[in-house]
Amino acid sequence: MVQKIIWLPIAQTTFVDALTYLEKNFTENEIHKFTDKVQQKLLVIKSFPRLGRPCKTPGIYKTLVHKKILLFYQYKPLEEEILLLGFWNTLQDPKKLKW
């Protein structure tokens, strides 16, 4: 089991961006569902860090947290930690995706 989850600054920024997108396009209820799903997903990946779909880069995974929003994270088994890399709206240009 992972001992800690670390939010990188880009993850914090993209989380706020995701909330902004939801505020413009969805209801208040959807925003609450999103934040609840993020918390639930973090609990799950803390227990099962390899549950997400592997990306091209080894150790980096992605998982869906909302209809259009993915969470990218890096699992570091030796350090027993997960680095949250960022949230990605699937409506964005995939060429700009870093992970």
**Which residues, 6 or more positions from 40, have their beta carbon under 8 angstroms from its beta carbon?**
none
- The CATH architecture annotation of domain 4-89 reads 2-Layer Sandwich (3.30)
**Which residues, 6 or more positions from 2, have their beta carbon under 8 angstroms from its beta carbon?**
45, 46, 47, 49, 75, 80, 81, 82
pTM: 0.90
For the chain, 99 residues long, give each residue's pLDDT as a single digit of tens.
788 999 999 999 999 999 998 899 889 998 999 999 999 999 999 999 999 999 988 999 999 998 889 999 999 999 999 999 999 988 887 777 777
